[in-house]
Each structure stands twice: as C-alpha cells, then as structure tokens.
Structure 1
Amino acid sequence: MTPGKKLEGLVAATITPMTPDGQVNLSVIRQYVDYLVSEQNVKNIFVNGTTGEGLSLSIQERKQLAEEWVRQGKDKLDHVIVHVGALSLPESQDLARHAAAIGASGIAVIAPFFFKPTNKDELVAFLQKVASEASGVPFYYYHIPPLTGVKIRVEELLDGIREQIPTFQGVKFSDTDLLDLAQCINKNESEQFAFLYGVDEQLLGALAVGANGAVGSTYNYLGRKTNLMLQAFAKPDHALAQKYQVLVLHRRKL
C-alpha cells in the first residue's frame, strides 16, 4: 500500500472467492490482485463490503480475507479499505482493531440496520465507538440506505464529524440522491473529504457534482473502461464520457 496517498479514483469492491463446498478460497487472491492491477488498472480495493458479502461471513472468515488482501496487496495496491461494519458493536470494534493491526489502509462502517439509529447523534455515536478502536486508521462512513434503511442525510451527518471522529476521511456514498451528495461536497470542500460514489450506473452524474472517486463491483471487470470515462470527463470530453457510462450500464445488465 501507499501510506499518505489520498484515496481517489476507482476502488474495486472485491468479490469473496469461494470453493465449491462453500469455504473461503484464499489461494486465488494473489491472482485477483494481479488481475486488478494489470488488466483493469485498479489499485484500490474495498474488502468485505456488499459485493464481498461480508455480513454473511463469519468474523473469522472476514479476518482471514482482510489479512490475505493486505498481504497480497503489499507493494502492488495503493489502498486496501476493510469494511468492519456489523450488527454487533463489539464485533465491529473487534474487526476494526484487527484491521488496524494488519496494516489496512482504512476502515469503513455501515449504519446498524436492524435496530436502526433514528437520528444523526445516534449514528455518529455508533461510528465513533468503532473508529476509536482503530486509532490513526483513516475512517469512512459507508452510506447505503437502500439496504440499511437508514436515511439520515450525509450532509447532516458530516456537520462537526471531525470533532467526534478525528480519523474521519470521507464517505462511500451508495445512494442515488445526488442532491445530498452535491450539498456534502459543496459544504465540506475545505475539509478535503473523499466522496466515493457507489452507484456504478450513474457515476458520471456523481462526477458532475464533484465526486472524486468511486467504489463499485463493476470495477472488477470494467475498471479499464471506467478509467477511460474518468479521463474523458477530466479533459473535458463529456460526449465520450457519456458513451463509456452507457457501456457500464449495459454491461451491468448482462
């Protein structure tokens, strides 16, 4: 990994490889890393998230996966972000301590989604209790209301968050509410937070309102094409960027 380098650009939400009998297959992760770097030009990953079915795995399986991704990503990947969210606060804290101990680049946490926080203060209190167990490790909030049902606006959540979570670095924003995203970016421009968009099909719209990166499943196999879209948008050649976005949309449906 590359210490101190800002998290931006594409982040592949990794799939968890399994054996035919349902065991985690750690043996292919080295090949997976090489494929992402050489074939897809993607050097950042998000482990044990939605795509990786992290919440369906045991705590031990999640730790084994995190360890192997960090081990195989050394000197090859820029960032290995480990999702440590869980319904159990002590388990989430345990995963956060483990991620810090193995040298993960950062940790991310979703909102509790069974007994849900009903307001910003409850949510921030939960996130703070997890983040504090990984002192010094960059912390990201994983906002995915379509799955958690927690619809607290990120713009509201970010107000004063650094005072309670000093390691806070940004948001994995997996929602279609681009107004909320745009207001977050505009309001927190001076903080230099990372706003990583998580709905692959409308990444171009998120770039237009200021997102500085993306986390998604399609970057496992469309990373190179999506990087071309980022380059086209930056030129700017919006017509070409739009063509690449349509390609991602159609390939996602296949």
Structure 2
Amino acid sequence: MAAQKKLQGVVAATVTPMTQDGEINLSVIGQYVDYLINEQGVKNVFVNGTTGEGLSLSVQERKQLAEEWVTKGKDKLDYVIIHVGAFSLPEAKGLAKHAAEIGADGIAVIAPSFFKQVKKDALVAFLRDVASEAPGIPFYYYHIPPLTGIKINAEELLNGMIEQIPTFKGVKFSDKDLLDFGQCVKKNDRGQFVLLYGVDEQLLGALAMGATGAVGSTYNYLGKANNSMLEAFANGDLSLAQKYQALALQRPKQS
C-alpha cells in the first residue's frame, strides 16, 4: 500500500456487510475491494466509520473488519484508513494500536460524545492520547458535529492538533458549516495537511473552497462519477462538474 502518497481524491466510507444472523460477513470483503477498484475507480477506504456503524460494533468485530480490509486491500488499495474512535479512551487506544500493528495506512478518531460539554483542550488531549498508540501512521480528526453534538469548530482544534500530535495529517470534515471549513483552509495555506470533505451533496462547493479530497458513503456507488467531477473541476469545466454533482442530489423515485 502506498502510504507515502498524500491522501486525496475520493475515499469510500465502507458499509459493514452482515449475514442473515446479524454477524459481520467477512467473506465478501475481497469482492468489495475489487468492486470499488474495478467498477468505481476508488482505491481509498474509510473503515468502521459512521456508514460502517463502527460505534455499534463490538471491539472484536471492529478489529476483525480492520484486519480483513487491510489484508484484502494489500497491493490493491492505496489507503485503508481505520476509524478507531470510541466513547472509552482505553478502547480507542487499543483500536489505534491494533490498526498500526496490522498495517493500516492511517487512523481516524471521532470526538467522544456521550457527555456534550467537552472543552477544546480536553478533546485535543483525548485525540493526542489515542494517536500516540499509533506513532508510525497518519492521524486524521473525524469532525462530525451533527452526530456527536460537539460544537467545537474544527478550526479551533487545528492549532492544538498540529502542536501536540506529531502524526496529524488532516481532517475528515463532515459538516455543512462552510465558514468553519473555510477557516481550516486558510490555516492550510502551505498544504501541510489534507482537508477531506464529508458531505457528499456539497462536495463541489467544498472543492471551490479548497477541499483536497472527500470521504463519503455515496462513493461506494457513485465513485466513478465523483472522480469525473474532481477531474472536471481540476480542468476548470464547472458546467460538467455541476452535472456530476447533481447525481448525488437525486432523490429516489417513490414506488
């Protein structure tokens, strides 16, 4: 896996396949990898996140999924990012250490959110402690206040993460607050970290503001179209890029 390359472009937030009995179905992960690469042109994945219902799985299930994605993605995928966030600091640290040991290309951490009155410095300390268990691989902060209820702006956390987390490489920004996102872009004037936008329906607007890539669920089945949108945007063809963005805005037809 090409962990030396900067993470950019489209990243599929993977679903967790289950059997009829409610067990995780590891047997289809290899097919899943091939489908993403061959059918969608997607070579980066984000495992055990919101789309994969990571926080609803047991620690053992999360580890098994992480291992299977890393194993089946070896020499095929460019990046396998494992989300290791948890309400429990020891659990998050254990998942981070495990991800590093199995050869993941990076880890991501969501803010613990059972108690909402989290202070900025305390959140940075939590993220730092988790990241310290995987000192050899990139760390990404998973910012998703609509689900966590933690209203600290990502921009407010950047300085602390840059200063205290040596492996900090970027933010998965899953919020519609483009003002906050724009402030993050402003702090990234040297391109020292990546800004991966996580609201699929607004990706084109985020690209215009300075997003360097995207993580989302629709890239599982609209990866090819979104790769084309990124290419059209890079080539200055805004009209074509808008057409591709419109695919993510289509509502399913009522039967």
TM-score range, shorter chain: over 0.9
Which residue of structure 1 aligns with residue 7 of structure 2?
7
Deviation at 1:119, TM superposition (A): 2.2
Aligned-residue CA RMSD (Å): 1.2
Note if contact 1:12-1:46 (Cα within 8 Å) is conserved in structure 2: yes
Taking structure 1 as the reference length, what is the TM-score of the superposition? 0.97
**What secondary structure is seen at the aligned counterpart in 1 of 2:141?**
strand
Alpha carbons of structure 1 residues 162 and 253: separation in structure 2 relative to 1, 3 Å:
farther
| Cα deviation digits, residues 45-104 of structure 1 (max 9, x gap) | 000000000000000000000000000000000000000000010000000000000000
Percent of aligned pairs with the same amino acid: 73
Say if 2:195 is the partner of 1:176.
no
Q: How many Å apart are 1:199 and its aligned residue?
A: 0.3
The TM-score with structure 2 as length reference comes to 0.97
8 Å Cα contact 1:106-1:140 kept in structure 2: yes
**Equivalent residue runs for 1:92-131 within 5 Å:** 92-131=92-131
Runs (4+) of structure 1 exceeding 3 A deviation are 251-254
Question: How far did residue 253 of structure 1 move?
Answer: 8.0
Q: Deviations over 1:99-138 (max 9, x none)?
A: 0000000000000110235321011011001000111110
C-alpha distance in 1 between matches for 2:191 and 2:158: 10
Q: Distance in 1 between matches of 2:117 and 2:109?
A: 14
The structural deviation recorded for 1:161 is 2.1
Cα distance, 1:159 vs. partner?
Answer: 1.5
Instruction: Give the conservation status (yes or no) of the 8 Å contact 2:121–2:160.
Output: no
The answer to whether the Cα contact below 8 Å between 2:173 and 2:198 also exists between their aligned partners in 1 is yes
The gaps in structure 2 that reach 5 residues or longer are none
Provide Cα deviations, 1:124-173, integer angstroms capped at 9, x if missing partner: 01100100011111000000000000111111110142221000000000
**How far 1:197 moved relative to its partner?**
0.4
Question: How many positions carry a matched residue from both structures?
Answer: 254
CA drift of 1:191 comes to 5.0
Q: Decide whether aligned partners of structure 1 residues 218 and 164 sit closer, same or farther in structure 2, where only a CA change above 3 A counts.
A: same
Instruction: Report if the CA contact (8 A) 2:36-2:43 is conserved.
Output: yes
Q: Does 1:158 align with 2:158?
A: yes
